[in-house]
Amino acid sequence: MPQTLAQKFKDKQTISRLKNKDKEVFIKVYDDFAGDIYRFVYFKVGHVEEAKDLTSMIFLKTWNHIQNNSLTSSSTLRALLYKIARTSIVDYYRETGNKLEVSLDDEDHPIDLPDDNTDLEGDMDRASDLASIKSKLPLLKEEYREIIVLKFVNDLDIDEISEVTGKTKGNVRVLLHRSLAALKDLLEEDQKSK
């Protein structure tokens, strides 16, 4: 959904205050985006501890960008955070020499669903869907997985995805269509085999 006028104003205001090195605003940005950035990183690297380390590093890098007065390259703050997240992940693996191998089957950190819902059957369905999608996402191409997470999990709009990935809006739309089709095929194959 395109940004409303109020959102645009809030974004400009936040960026200006960050340029002014306002730590309270920075912490507010952390509160607003830490969960989303963590999730994005988690789907990229597939390990909880690495995702946590990288999330922390991304926010610190963002602060350093602000310190260096280089917070002008993005139209929205959210897009900037995701761009920094992407490059940080690449840099992290280049520096550590590790190969990026994604597996979301992290048995040490199972996903906990909120238990404030009395609909046990619904909860079980959701847990089953979640497990099924989680197992299939790593099988997708990296760019498919990334675009699915950005659009359908973290709710970025086409403009922002285009800015984050450096692809045209048309390409983003095509990729979204293809990635959904690919994931659907994987899920349907899985259902048939059961």
Partner 1 sequence: MTDRDLIKKLGNLKEIKPDSSWLKANRDSLYTQISNSGATETSVWSAFVINFKSVLKTASAPAISFAALMLILLGTSAYGHLLLARTKPNQSLYIAREISEKAKLTTILNTVEREQMASKFAANNAQDITNVLADPSFKNEQEIAKLSDKFNQEIKTVQNTVAKVQQPAVQKIDTPTTTNSDEVFSASNEKDNVGLSIAGIETQEGTTTISTTTKLVEEAQSLFNEKKYKEAGEVLNKLK
Q: Among residues 94 and 184, whose Cβ is nearest to partner 1?
A: 184
Q: Indicate which single residue of 61, 71, 102, 134 sits in contact with partner 1 (rule: CB under 8 A).
A: 134
Q: What angle do CA 21, 23, 26 make, to 5 degrees?
A: 95
Q: Indicate which single residue of 129, 142, 174, 189 sits in contact with partner 1 (rule: CB under 8 A).
A: 129
38 lies in the site for partner 1, by CB under 8 A: yes
Q: How far is CA 26 from CA 20, 60, 115, in A?
A: 10, 10, 32
71 lies in the site for partner 1, by CB under 8 A: no
How many of the other CB atoms lie within 10 Å of CB of 3? Answer: 16
Shortest gap between Cβ of 97 and partner 1 (angstroms)?
25
Tokens 């739309």, located at residue: 173
182 and 141 Cβ atoms separated by less than 8 Å: yes
155-194: which residues touch partner 1 (CB under 8 A)? 180, 183-184, 187-188
160: closest CA among 85, 94, 96, 75? Answer: 75
Tokens 């990635």, located at residue: 179
Contacting residues for 83 by C-beta, under 8 A, at least 6 apart:
73, 74, 163, 164
Shortest gap between Cβ of 104 and partner 1 (angstroms)?
9
55 lies in the site for partner 1, by CB under 8 A: yes
Tokens 């002014």, located at residue: 20
Q: Indicate which single residue of 63, 93, 138, 173 sits in contact with partner 1 (rule: CB under 8 A).
A: 63
Q: Indicate which single residue of 100, 152, 168, 189 sits in contact with partner 1 (rule: CB under 8 A).
A: 152
Contacting residues for 64 by C-beta, under 8 A, at least 6 apart:
none
92 lies in the site for partner 1, by CB under 8 A: no
140 lies in the site for partner 1, by CB under 8 A: no
Q: Among residues 131 and 171, whose Cβ is nearest to partner 1?
A: 131
Q: Among residues 100 and 130, whose Cβ is nearest to partner 1?
A: 130
Q: Indicate which single residue of 148, 150, 156, 164 sits in contact with partner 1 (rule: CB under 8 A).
A: 148
Quick one: which segment of 78-86, 105-113, 139-147, 159-167 binds partner 1 (CB under 8 A)? 105-113
159 and 127 Cβ atoms separated by less than 8 Å: no
